Chain A
């Protein structure tokens, strides 16, 4: 180990920064979850009280439900769409670079700009979508006040942003599959759908697993989308839109800790949520892995 000190020195900055800005705050937030603290004053140790509050807090459970619904509504179309797009793009011969960039651009666009744009497009009274519906004689749809439609709009926004990202990963995976396998399949008389289901999918399994896990982690952490769609203001400090239908768990955490100055409760929320994410990632892992050994 000592003989390699230069190499360890070279990679040390990442670990030092990680320790100071990621690892320490994580441990500190665990400590905070057992305190009552307003951010500057003295801390009071309250034991498991914050978690007891959490258990009885209907808004916390509402936020969990909201998050899960938004996550399912966005992850499924994102990954399915990404796989289809990647397959299409893989077989395209001309303008490959253009398509790749065009489909990736939503992911690097500022989330704030996208959310403001979606807010304008889906606005209840003066939005583009309702204006178009109006011209064909459909009465306006309350996109940003109906509890389900709010979630749908947020999910759509996330799908729009993340499809291109997953597509690029799938595309990289597709390019590693040797052509000979497809040629052999063709000789055996397999059609495109069969080829896709029986050759592409099994080979892509580890890559799909990766995107499922990343999407689980990203999707459950939705925060900026509802925050910007339903900006709070001094006169109305509640977040998440009408009836808190767009209040995700992280948004609730933000509200508790940073708007209400209740840092201990905020920490309890994120730790409870962390456990939930771990459980969901494990379930996903099992589902995607299943049948692999058979």
Chain B
């Protein structure tokens, strides 16, 4: 492009002026601008929504508003936080990751209450426990559930066969009802196939074991409960594979290679993890199967759409998100981007009930569907993720340095307590 000096100076001056103007407007409470705007912006990250559905939403609503979508890369939460704090150029609709929603709840006033816009009427279509995780303590609904991450047991049916174990999903399910059964099976696998491991690392078990309970690290009264029996039980459960020699100790970026080479015989993971396995190890197509998570399902991840307070046309924005996330479109998200819908009505739709070639033609919805509805509800405090981190770190200490599990537990608890204290947890 040819740019004369005059044009360049003009453009520069205009940009500066525009930046100043938006900053000035944004400084106010955000009520500036009309509430029936014709331009709406939507922020999400790659894989958060089906790109096809989003593209259709643009044409579907083109009569009323012009929808501009941006796929935001990098650290999404950080970009959203700074934009909200600055108050300028805030998107009208934004995605919020499942692991971040709790940390946004204390600032619920930055978002519109979706119940005011009609979510109350729709909420029964979506999983109750998922909807609740996006409610503030005073009952405001700030997030519209996109997807969830029910966990299950992924396993290499061909390796099970080789080890002389049953490989049919129903039989595997019967043999891995509890964690004890699962570890016993792991011991047999290891005996038959030396050099293979049952689990990726201890942290992955801990994550799921905590999620299987109804309490986490901080209770509703903002008290630290990470030193209590329920967490200790999850901890003990996750260090057992280490003692039994079933732990792959994979804490670097070799997870994909391990999947591809068959070093790992099983994987515990959320529904969206199916795509990770498929991309990491395309050569293992047809060899994997899915069966229920030992000891019951947990949830990992799964996101929301929210309307920041600055939204220029709340009615229309709400229409758009409830259209993008209606059962039929939600089901398409599963086909397009392996995002598992938060509305059970979608589970019966053809888009989800088909056989999956990567999993040897198994209809994996038969595992994930019931899992989704059996996930225990638990309160997730804003500081939950931060407080959980030291436990995961200490588990890697056991794996990498052979640190004594009891010492690791003590250090994890004291470190978690301190992190909580810094964030106002008593």
Chain A 220-263 interface mask (CB, 8 Å, partner B; 1/0): 00000000011100111110011111000000000100111110
Q: Is B386 an interface residue when CB atoms closer than 8 A count as contact?
A: yes
Q: Is B146 an interface residue when CB atoms closer than 8 A count as contact?
A: no
Q: Which residues of A contact B207 (CB under 8 A)?
A: 235-236
- Give the bracket for the number of chain B residues in contact with chain A: 35 or more
The 10 A-B pairs of least Cβ separation, nearest first, read A242-B400, A260-B386, A242-B396, A144-B252, A126-B257, A145-B400, A243-B397, A238-B393, A238-B389, A39-B81
Q: Which residues of B contact A124 (CB under 8 A)?
A: 252, 254
- B107 in contact with A41 (CB, 8 Å): yes
- A243 in contact with B382 (CB, 8 Å): no
Contact partner of B386 among A120, A126, A241, A259, CB < 8 A? A259
Q: Which residues of A contact B424 (CB under 8 A)?
A: 36
- A265 in contact with B389 (CB, 8 Å): no
Q: Which residues of B contact A120 (CB under 8 A)?
A: 253
Q: Which residues of A contact B415 (CB under 8 A)?
A: 58-59
Given contacts A260-B383, A260-B389, list 5 more A-B pairs with CB under 8 A. Answer: A36-B424, A145-B399, A234-B99, A260-B385, A260-B423
CA–CA, A229 to B251, complex, Å? 11
CA–CA, A259 to B386, complex, Å? 8
Q: Which residues of A contact B29 (CB under 8 A)?
A: none
Contact partner of B106 among A38, A147, A237, CB < 8 A? A38
Q: Is A142 an interface residue when CB atoms closer than 8 A count as contact?
A: yes
Chain B 347-389 interface mask (CB, 8 Å, partner A; 1/0): 0000000000000000000000000000000000011011011
- B106 in contact with A242 (CB, 8 Å): no
Which residues 62-104 of B have a CB within 8 angstroms of A? 75, 77-78, 81-82, 84-85, 97-99, 103-104
- A234 in contact with B106 (CB, 8 Å): no
- B401 in contact with A243 (CB, 8 Å): yes
Q: Which residues of A contact B140 (CB under 8 A)?
A: none
- A231 in contact with B421 (CB, 8 Å): no
Contact partner of B253 among A36, A41, A231, CB < 8 A? A231
Q: Is B392 an interface residue when CB atoms closer than 8 A count as contact?
A: yes
**Distance to closest chain B CB from A144 (angstroms):** 4
Q: Which residues of A contact B385 (CB under 8 A)?
A: 237, 259-260
Q: Is A12 an interface residue when CB atoms closer than 8 A count as contact?
A: no
Q: Which residues of A contact B99 (CB under 8 A)?
A: 234, 237
Q: Which residues of B contact A230 (CB under 8 A)?
A: 251-252
Q: Which residues of A contact B401 (CB under 8 A)?
A: 147, 242-243
A125-B388 contact in complex given A234-B300, A261-B81, A262-B423, C-beta closer than 8 Å: no
**Distance to closest chain B CB from A131 (angstroms):** 11
Interface residues of B, dominant DSSP: helix
- A235 in contact with B419 (CB, 8 Å): no
Q: Is B165 an interface residue when CB atoms closer than 8 A count as contact?
A: no
Chain A positions near chain B (C-beta within 8 angstroms): 36, 38-41, 50, 53, 56-59, 116, 119-120, 123-127, 142, 144-147, 229-231, 234-238, 241-245, 255, 258-262, 265
Interchain Cβ contacts under 8 Å between A and B, 11 examples: A36-B423, A38-B106, A38-B423, A40-B81, A119-B252, A146-B400, A234-B300, A237-B386, A238-B393, A244-B393, A255-B389
Chain B, Cβ-Cβ closest to A36 = B424
- B97 in contact with A234 (CB, 8 Å): yes
- B78 in contact with A237 (CB, 8 Å): no
- A237 in contact with B251 (CB, 8 Å): no
- A261 in contact with B252 (CB, 8 Å): no
Q: Is B204 an interface residue when CB atoms closer than 8 A count as contact?
A: yes
Q: Is B261 an interface residue when CB atoms closer than 8 A count as contact?
A: yes
- B258 in contact with A41 (CB, 8 Å): no
- B300 in contact with A41 (CB, 8 Å): no
- A145 in contact with B251 (CB, 8 Å): yes
Chain A, Cβ-Cβ closest to B251 = A242
- B396 in contact with A238 (CB, 8 Å): yes
Contact partner of A142 among B82, B258, B400, B403, CB < 8 A? B400
**Distance to closest chain A CB from B425 (angstroms):** 12
Q: Is B139 an interface residue when CB atoms closer than 8 A count as contact?
A: no
Q: Which residues of B contact A57 (CB under 8 A)?
A: 418
- B300 in contact with A123 (CB, 8 Å): no
CA–CA, A242 to B390, complex, Å? 11
Chain B 293-305 interface mask (CB, 8 Å, partner A; 1/0): 0000000110000
- B261 in contact with A126 (CB, 8 Å): yes
Chain B, Cβ-Cβ closest to A49 = B422
CA–CA, A119 to B403, complex, Å? 24
Contact partner of A40 among B110, B249, B300, B422, CB < 8 A? B110
- Most chain B CB inside 10 Å of its own CB: which residue of A235, A242, A243: A235
- Most chain B CB inside 10 Å of its own CB: which residue of A126, A245, A255: A126
- A119 in contact with B389 (CB, 8 Å): no
- B78 in contact with A258 (CB, 8 Å): yes
Q: Which residues of A contact B187 (CB under 8 A)?
A: none
- B400 in contact with A125 (CB, 8 Å): no
Q: Is B263 an interface residue when CB atoms closer than 8 A count as contact?
A: yes
Contact partner of B85 among A39, A125, A145, A235, CB < 8 A? A39
CA–CA, A119 to B390, complex, Å? 24
**Distance to closest chain A CB from B268 (angstroms):** 10
- A242 in contact with B389 (CB, 8 Å): no
CA–CA, A237 to B403, complex, Å? 20
Q: Is B281 an interface residue when CB atoms closer than 8 A count as contact?
A: no
Contact partner of A53 among B82, B389, B422, CB < 8 A? B422
Contact partner of B254 among A123, A234, A262, CB < 8 A? A123
Contact partner of A243 among B84, B396, B418, CB < 8 A? B396
- B422 in contact with A265 (CB, 8 Å): yes
- A234 in contact with B301 (CB, 8 Å): yes
Q: Is B203 an interface residue when CB atoms closer than 8 A count as contact?
A: yes
